[in-house]
Amino acid sequence: MTPVPTYDLLRSLGFVPNPNLISDRPGGLTFDFGNFTLDAICTISRFYEEIVMLLGVMQSERRLCKVRSEMPRTFESREQGIAWITWCLDHHAPGKKFIPARPVNWLTIGRQNTDLLPWERQRIIREMEQAAYAARPHCRVQRDFARVGRRHLAELLAASADDAPVTFEFDGEVLLIHVLDQATAMPANGDPWPERFSIRAGAIRNLPKRFMNDPVEFGIWNGSIDIDRCRYKDNASDRNGSVPE
């Protein structure tokens, strides 16, 4: 995809040169919406990056709103650039929707392409990750039962070699943790897991000393097993209690 220079995009949308604006080359531009004038100047950001700054004062019956928004000098596509400008206008407008005094057709195009904006892409990815995390195999065990299960599991792990397999499985009612030919069973709530999860004893030997939550959650995520706020994975030197926000 060929990048689209922001200045060229603005000109194609109807922005006109304004010699009264203080701007780096190729100069400042202005668009008159009938009830609001939006200026665009080429300048340097506080991070010393070349940007195009949108400026203006949006006025309604009850308030004045200063418009100030930074844009890159180039966009990935024409649609992304239009979406960015439209978002800026809507973001500052009363009711979060800018209504010009005269028809401006490209505002509709911008609102149809908000998914092209970088922060919207990040939001979509984050929501997909959260949905995947919520749908992962997991179950919840009452803390009293989890404490008993932890004690028994710790005894089994202490008697096992580092490469001994530890297998977790859940049928919708009971969480079973197999260590060689022995098992720890705990009543649990949740949807049945589609398959077992296996990890080496050496990777899970250091069990949580205390459970911070009640019920205690056991879950599978990205090749690891989560027990309460701790995460265990083979070949990892540490464990991480973090989860997607």
Residue 236 has what pLDDT? 43
The CATH code belonging to domain 138-232 is 3.10.150.10
Which amino acid makes up residue 227? I
DSSP string, 63-103: -EEEEEEEEESEESSHHHHHHHHHHHHHHHSGGG----SS-
Q: pLDDT tens, 17-65?
A: 999 999 999 999 999 999 999 999 999 999 999 999 999 998 877 778 8
3-class state of residue 35 by DSSP: coil
pLDDT at 203: 94
Say what the pLDDT of residue 167 is.
96
pTM of the model: 0.71
Whole-number pLDDT of residue 234: 85
Burial of residue 46 (number of CB atoms within 10 Å: 0-12, 13-18, 19+): exposed
Task: Please identify every stretch of the chain with a pLDDT value under 50, giving residue numbers as ranges.
Answer: 236-245
Nearest to 106 by CA among 1, 17, 3, 31: 31
**Max CA pair span of the chain:** 83
Phi-psi category of residue 46: left, alpha or beta, with phi > 0 → left and psi -120 to 50 → alpha: alpha
* Domain chopping of the chain, boundaries: 4-132, 138-232
The predicted pLDDT at position 60 comes to 73
pLDDT of 90 reads: 94
Predicted local confidence at residue 240, as pLDDT: 38
Looking at residue 227, its pLDDT comes to: 96
Structure tokens at 125: 């990815």
